[in-house]
Chains A and B, each alone.
Chain A
Amino acid sequence: MGKSSKDKRDLYYRKAKEQGFRARSAFKLLQLDEQFHFLDNVTRVVDLCAAPGSWSQVLSRRLFEGDTEDNASKRIVAVDLQPMFPIDNVTTIQADITHPKTLNKIMDLFEGEKADFVCSDGAPDVTGLHDLDEYVQQQLILSALQLTTCLLREGGVFVAKIFRGRDIDMLYSQLSYLFERVVCAKPRSSRGTSLESFVVCIGYKPPQNWKPCLDVNMSVEDFFQGCEIGRLSLSDKLPDYKEEPRSIAEFISCGGLDSFDSDATY
């Protein structure tokens, strides 16, 4: 989220233009995939917080270009608060992903089938109150995670943008209850000077004793009640202050040292 004047000078910005991507963010997904290969063989995906749509473009190209068989079973759903110009083979929805009704709409589009991959590159309106911004960011991730628990197949992959602030280790800890491996990855196309990175959660393992259940009258937090993801549960008495479980995820820098450095001036 740099200033636009800087973006103009940015190499990735120029590269995006050349390759027909709507935003330089495309390279973040490409570099993440280069490292983790999570887009190999996926057929049904959800792209949350997708506007202007460069991730959806990457997904559309990956899923539909070249190989034409089985196109009928393939599916890309993209959601954002902002309207999006159409992208081939992508169904777009303009909605708030924290609203339970939105998740219902997405579920409907999958007609009972599971997804292989869910990603969210969401970023809220940054206010400058760091704790609030981080909270809202984490809520976007939890909303995405809520959908994920309802929609992702076992073993599937979830990728989300994070800002590594004060409570990021609490999120790592929560995610590690639901996935086999949780990695914090920083593509070289994401500026080192920004706190942005991506959490790559590999191998979805639905909890045994908890069944996700979407209810339009439930908030994200209500939804995860009873799911042992280490969050506070609501008892009659608000509990005293206590430190919640935290863990530090493995860090991987991706994109290779030969890729362009987004902090450099060229």
Chain B
Amino acid sequence: MKAEELSHYGPSICVKFHGDYVVAGYGVYIHVYEVKSGKLVNQSQIFHKNKVHGLAIQKGLILAYGARSVSIVPWERVLKYSDNCGLEKMCPEWIISAEFSFNRSSVFLLTSYNKVLCCDLELTVKSTKAVFGERAILYSGTITVHNDDKVMVNAGTVMDGIFVWDLFSEQTQHHFTDHEGSIFYVTASDDGKFLASCSDDRSIKLWDLSSGKLVSTGWGHAARIWNLQFFGENCDKLISVSEDCTCRVWDVCQQGEDLQQMDIFEVHLSKNVWGVDVDSERMIAVTSGNDGRIKLTDLLLKSRSGDESELFSMDDIRSHGIDLQSNEIVKGFYWLEFGLVVMTSEGRVLQYNQETLKWSSLLIDRKFARYSTTSGVQEFEIVIFAGGDCDLLILKFSKDGELLKRKSSHVEALSKSTMCLVDHEGENFIVALQSPNEREPLYCVKFNGESLEEEAHFCFAKPANFNSSSILYHRNFLILGSRYSTLVVFDLQHSNSPPMILNRILPGDAITSIRFVEATIDGHSLFSVTDRDGYYCFVSLELGGMGSDIVLVNKTSKGFLEGAYYDERGDYITYGFRSNTFGIYNETKQFDITSVLCGGSHRQWKFLPNFGSEEFVLIYVKASCINLRRFHKSVTSIALRNGLHGREIRDLTICPNKYGDNDHIFCSGAEDTTIKLNRLEGVTGMTKTVWTLRKHTSGLQRCKFVSDEYMISSAAREELYLWKVSTMYDSNPYIKILATLPPSTEIPDLRIMDFDVKFIEGTNDFLLVTVYSDSAIKVWFYGQKSEKFTLLGEGKYETCCLLNISLVVLADRLVIVVSPTDGHLVIWDLTDSTPVYVKDQKVYWKPTDFSTPLQLPFYLMRLHVHSAGIKTLQVRVLSANAFLVYTGGDDNAVAISEFVTQRGKSGIVGRVLDCQTAGAASTITSVNLLNNGANLITASVDQKLRYYNVSGNSLALKDVLYTTNADTGCVDVTPSATNGSIVLVAGVGFSAWHLDHEDS
């Protein structure tokens, strides 16, 4: 067997800027990225097994260390070669920190017992240094090299604070004890003035190294802090990263007891940012975290270009010679290429030219005094004002702000207008006017975008409760989003036919945006819809027909939603308000792009493209001033690498349906309670998350595809969802919930440990069996039509927790195999206690009344296989009356057991065929058959994958692979395009392997 790790995503513990590059420790690898382009230049393996925990870079050499491994690798080799493991050396103790000497001819290795090994560049130890009597274990430490004669060691202990000692004299200079608990990081500023430290007490302390005094303490992080770096021209700033996923900037130069926090950025997912560095020249920070993400943060994001924000009070506008009334206020605005157009409460139209920085008054039309709405079409350089008495004023400008055309019109069909929505397509735009009177129609006018000539008008009868808030004009259809999350589709070609109405497509209320995504092969069109309450969905509509299908519903973690779109890279970008900020968020990659403190959503605002690629303008009124905030494209790429989950992945499952020709789709469920739908490129193993689903409220237990398109996930609190995955769209795969398993009580506290499914022959209905942490077993029926689960029967094993379940169909019987924590495999015969019958190993529905759930019988038999809980099992049906169960347990054992039914008898006979008690050094968490059952692969917490030949009744170990993913918990396998297997392995981190089963 030949094995190759195709890709790995997992914790990155250290990052460093080096010229135009970012160098990151990434598992056993070093990654080198180009800052500008964000491109991965090379991935080079540095250590055989240990993770790279730290780096020092000098004079063309990289000094990398991690655990007890250390290596000095020429920079050229790191850039060019994929394997540099040959240079790895072993240190007898864990290396806490390492640095080059001042003249770069040697290196210092600070080890975990507060000793420094002074080595030459061949890593021969020339001398060792330590402070007499201070040899307790360290949690942290750094080395500050001042010159050839002065090197200071900053050591952080478990309970004795910080020791700062002189390397060459081996004398303690400072012993700081003001922190509580273990010191997690300590570092000195380059100029030797300050020391900064953090501990279990969640504070940052700044110490004056000349006086030996505590200068200030910084509070703010909501969890432990892992790393600190001084930066800035005069080391006058400090950056910190924490378990709370943020990085914060602190002002070192201030006076007073409190270290002042200057800025905060949310940079990583769910838990733990480990590494941080700052390029003080470019003022960019790089961080790395447990989520496998390497992220750049522009520390000057809010001020970099200088024209980001402008603010105009009414007096500012007056100072341009405009005679505004004393009580005149802004009523609306719109952004065009030349700048801003504003409507005031006097019906005055103002214009601001961003080139000349001049305000001018264009006209006054009293019809728009008091009440007006302002909208426009950027593509046509048009602004549209609608007055309360159904007057329209349309102004068309040249690119540099000259008024080209002006058109006024009045709509007779309505008595009043309170809402005016505008959208365009092709050469035209449509203005939809809505009256507060329910009986009055929705009145729409179609204009030509060039001539402003009216081309057609439409009168639509409004459905009940119609109160539109967003519009999309698409291919002769007008789609309006209304209150109660209702979509109404009007056909412009058949304006008399009743509209298509989709009620309650989202849990929230007002629909804030509708966007066209793609036309699909079945003639439908896919749209993205957002609502103000933070939900979004993708809905497929048969325009001109009646068909519709919601393919995804999700909620952003980022407050309210005002809109969303796919960007150039295919990332789904959302924007909206969250308490008092407006933010733009990359929902696909799950990070903040930018945010503005604007005082919240209850104000006039518009968010529009800024006539440049991926640039935007937010215009809002705050304290009767007009604020203009431009969002420029970032100076760097934002994420150099995106990982998957921030916490342990508990389970993963590959969709039997491929996505396109080469991509696989898989779902992963983690401790962080999210389920992610991911795409995996079959050849390279490159993986990216497409959707992050926040439906579960507790840590995931299981997720499993049960058919080509159905996936089930389970968790604590009796949560179980049935999901449907759609793979027919080009833009992305989509996923939504079809059904929810009803919990047994109002405050459920049981964990659904596992489940299994068998489909009723020839239908999409299925039987579901769930097992629980209180030893309960439940049997359910899922009806595709009703989209509901019905409880058919329940039973109990004993009192212990049940870990796994498998449904097995034999000749004429339906049995379940359950593994409790007591090491048994327990068999029940469900044939007579469920309304199904089994024939030729197929399950059929037996029409019966099952209004009261049946009691499951006592178990048929049980077989003691493991001496502790069976963590994983896989069943292989051998024949109509026999099956094998492959198991792995907490007792480190891997076993095969055989179960046989006897003709004419109801019993089942089981026996253990093979049990390898030393199947791993730790808990076996996954067994998977592959290569059509010829091989078995196990995963265990000792971070090993063991590959067996399965021959008859026994297992023969063929290969042991090492995985970087700690807490190795789950594996899934699928055939690869080249007759091998793709194996996905996850725990803390994720890897994709390719196995070639041919013996080489």
Interface residues of A (CB under 8 A from B): 9, 81, 96, 98-101, 124-125, 127-132, 135-136, 139, 143, 164-166, 168-169, 172, 184, 186, 192, 195, 216-222, 231-242, 246, 248, 250-253, 257, 260-261, 263-266
Instruction: Provide the residues of chain A in CB contact with B800, threshold 8 Å.
Output: 261, 263-264
Contact yes or no, B90 A242, CB < 8 A:
yes
Instruction: Provide the residues of chain A in CB contact with B92, threshold 8 Å.
Output: 221, 231-234
Given A99-B135, A238-B89, A238-B124: A131 and B868 interface contact (C-beta under 8 Å): no
CB distance from B870 to the nearest CB of A (A): 10
Q: Mark B938-967, 1 if CB is under 8 A from A, else 0.
A: 000111000000000000000000000011
Instruction: Provide the residues of chain A in CB contact with B70, threshold 8 Å.
Output: 238
Instruction: Provide the residues of chain B in CB contact with A168, threshold 8 Å.
Output: 921-922, 942
Contact yes or no, A265 B749, CB < 8 A:
yes
CB distance from A81 to the nearest CB of B (A): 5
CB distance from A249 to the nearest CB of B (A): 8
What are 13 pairs between A and B in contact, CB < 8 Å?
Answer: A81-B158, A129-B11, A136-B137, A164-B942, A166-B966, A184-B892, A192-B890, A219-B93, A237-B123, A241-B85, A252-B867, A264-B800, A264-B821
CB distance from A91 to the nearest CB of B (A): 19
Is B136 on the interface with A (CB-CB < 8 A)? yes
**Residue of A9, A166, A184, A219 ringed by the most chain B CB atoms within 10 A:** A166
Q: In the complex, A237 Cα to B91 Cα: how many Å?
A: 9
Which residues, 758 to 803 on B, are CB-close (under 8 Å) to A? 772-775, 799-801, 803
Instruction: Provide the residues of chain A in CB contact with B69, threshold 8 Å.
Output: 241
* B49 to chain A: closest residue by CB: A166
Q: In the complex, A231 Cα to B92 Cα: how many Å?
A: 8
Contact yes or no, A169 B891, CB < 8 A:
no
Contact yes or no, A238 B137, CB < 8 A:
no
Contact yes or no, B941 A195, CB < 8 A:
yes
Instruction: Provide the residues of chain B in CB contact with A100, threshold 8 Å.
Output: 133, 135-136
Instruction: Provide the residues of chain A in CB contact with B144, threshold 8 Å.
Output: none
Instruction: Provide the residues of chain B in CB contact with A101, threshold 8 Å.
Output: 133
Q: In the complex, A238 Cα to B117 Cα: how many Å?
A: 10
CB distance from B226 to the nearest CB of A (A): 8
Contact yes or no, A263 B821, CB < 8 A:
yes
Contact yes or no, A98 B137, CB < 8 A:
yes
* B776 to chain A: closest residue by CB: A265
Is B160 on the interface with A (CB-CB < 8 A)? yes
Contact yes or no, A81 B90, CB < 8 A:
no
Is B125 on the interface with A (CB-CB < 8 A)? yes
Is B261 on the interface with A (CB-CB < 8 A)? no
Which residues, 879 to 931 on B, are CB-close (under 8 Å) to A? 890-893, 917-918, 920-923
Is B589 on the interface with A (CB-CB < 8 A)? no
Interface residues of B (CB under 8 A from A): 11, 13, 47-51, 53, 66-70, 85, 88-94, 112-115, 117, 119, 122-125, 130, 132-133, 135-137, 139, 157-160, 181-182, 184, 200, 224, 226, 243, 271-272, 274, 290, 749-751, 772-775, 799-801, 803, 820-823, 867-869, 890-893, 917-918, 920-923, 941-943, 966-967, 988
Q: Which of these, B47, B274, B890, B941, contacts A241 with CB under 8 Å?
A: B47
Instruction: Provide the residues of chain B in CB contact with A128, threshold 8 Å.
Output: 243, 271-272, 290
CB distance from A137 to the nearest CB of B (A): 11
**Residue of B271, B272, B274, B821 ringed by the most chain A CB atoms within 10 A:** B821
Instruction: Provide the residues of chain A in CB contact with B51, threshold 8 Å.
Output: 131
Given A217-B132, A251-B867, A261-B801: A237 and B67 interface contact (C-beta under 8 Å): no
Q: In the complex, A248 Cα to B944 Cα: how many Å?
A: 13
Contact yes or no, B922 A264, CB < 8 A:
no
Instruction: Provide the residues of chain B in CB contact with A221, threshold 8 Å.
Output: 92-93, 113
Instruction: Provide the residues of chain B in CB contact with A219, threshold 8 Å.
Output: 93, 113-115, 135, 137
Contact yes or no, B822 A261, CB < 8 A:
yes
Instruction: Provide the residues of chain B in CB contact with A231, threshold 8 Å.
Output: 92
Q: In the complex, A218 Cα to B111 Cα: how many Å?
A: 13
Instruction: Provide the residues of chain A in CB contact with B133, threshold 8 Å.
Output: 100-101, 216-217
Given A128-B290, A241-B89: A265 and B135 interface contact (C-beta under 8 Å): no
Given A186-B890, A219-B135: A263 and B89 interface contact (C-beta under 8 Å): no
* A164 to chain B: closest residue by CB: B922
Q: Which of these, B11, B123, B774, contacts A264 with CB under 8 Å?
A: B774
* B115 to chain A: closest residue by CB: A219
Q: In the complex, A98 Cα to B135 Cα: how many Å?
A: 8
Contact yes or no, A239 B89, CB < 8 A:
yes
Given A239-B90, A242-B90: A125 and B182 interface contact (C-beta under 8 Å): yes
Contact yes or no, B181 A125, CB < 8 A:
yes
Given A217-B133, A241-B89, A248-B892: A265 and B125 interface contact (C-beta under 8 Å): no
Contact yes or no, A129 B89, CB < 8 A:
no
Instruction: Provide the residues of chain A in CB contact with B158, threshold 8 Å.
Output: 81, 96, 98, 124-125
Contact yes or no, B50 A265, CB < 8 A:
no
Contact yes or no, A220 B922, CB < 8 A:
no
Q: In the complex, A139 Cα to B53 Cα: how many Å?
A: 18
Contact yes or no, A130 B135, CB < 8 A:
no
Contact yes or no, B89 A216, CB < 8 A:
no
CB distance from A251 to the nearest CB of B (A): 5
Instruction: Provide the residues of chain A in CB contact with B890, threshold 8 Å.
Output: 186, 192, 253
Instruction: Provide the residues of chain B in CB contact with A127, threshold 8 Å.
Output: 184, 224, 226
* A102 to chain B: closest residue by CB: B136
Contact yes or no, B868 A253, CB < 8 A:
yes
Top 3 nearest A-B pairs by Cβ distance? A219-B113, A130-B966, A261-B800
Contact yes or no, A264 B799, CB < 8 A:
yes
CB distance from B528 to the nearest CB of A (A): 36
Instruction: Provide the residues of chain B in CB contact with A235, threshold 8 Å.
Output: 125
Given A81-B158, A165-B941, A252-B867: A9 and B749 interface contact (C-beta under 8 Å): yes
Contact yes or no, A131 B923, CB < 8 A:
no
Q: In the complex, A184 Cα to B821 Cα: how many Å?
A: 17
CB distance from B566 to the nearest CB of A (A): 34
Instruction: Provide the residues of chain B in CB contact with A260, threshold 8 Å.
Output: 799
Q: In the complex, A234 Cα to B941 Cα: how many Å?
A: 30
Q: In the complex, A172 Cα to B290 Cα: how many Å?
A: 29
Instruction: Provide the residues of chain A in CB contact with B90, threshold 8 Å.
Output: 232, 238-242
Q: In the complex, A222 Cα to B115 Cα: how many Å?
A: 10
* B133 to chain A: closest residue by CB: A216
Q: In the complex, A173 Cα to B861 Cα: how many Å?
A: 39
Contact yes or no, A263 B124, CB < 8 A:
no
Contact yes or no, B125 A135, CB < 8 A:
no
Contact yes or no, B112 A139, CB < 8 A:
yes
Q: Which of these, A9, A130, A236, contacts B988 with CB under 8 Å?
A: A130
Contact yes or no, B891 A251, CB < 8 A:
yes
Q: In the complex, A132 Cα to B751 Cα: how many Å?
A: 31
Q: In the complex, A146 Cα to B822 Cα: how many Å?
A: 36
Instruction: Provide the residues of chain B in CB contact with A266, threshold 8 Å.
Output: 774, 799
Contact yes or no, A261 B799, CB < 8 A:
yes
Q: In the complex, A63 Cα to B564 Cα: how many Å?
A: 70
Q: In the complex, A132 Cα to B94 Cα: how many Å?
A: 9
Task: Name 10 extra pairs, CB < 8 A, besides A128-B271, A184-B892.
Answer: A81-B159, A130-B966, A130-B967, A139-B112, A165-B922, A166-B49, A168-B921, A168-B942, A221-B113, A265-B801
Given A81-B158, A216-B135, A237-B125: A253 and B921 interface contact (C-beta under 8 Å): no
* A261 to chain B: closest residue by CB: B800
* B71 to chain A: closest residue by CB: A241
Instruction: Provide the residues of chain B in CB contact with A129, threshold 8 Å.
Output: 11, 13, 53, 274
Instruction: Provide the residues of chain B in CB contact with A218, threshold 8 Å.
Output: 135
Q: In the complex, A253 Cα to B866 Cα: how many Å?
A: 10
Q: In the complex, A246 Cα to B943 Cα: how many Å?
A: 14
Contact yes or no, A96 B135, CB < 8 A:
no
Q: In the complex, A242 Cα to B92 Cα: how many Å?
A: 12
Given A164-B921, A195-B922, A265-B774: A98 and B868 interface contact (C-beta under 8 Å): no
Q: In the complex, A96 Cα to B137 Cα: how many Å?
A: 9
CB distance from B292 to the nearest CB of A (A): 14
Contact yes or no, A241 B921, CB < 8 A:
no
CB distance from A72 to the nearest CB of B (A): 33
Q: In the complex, A232 Cα to B89 Cα: how many Å?
A: 12
Q: In the complex, A107 Cα to B196 Cα: how many Å?
A: 37
CB distance from B26 to the nearest CB of A (A): 14
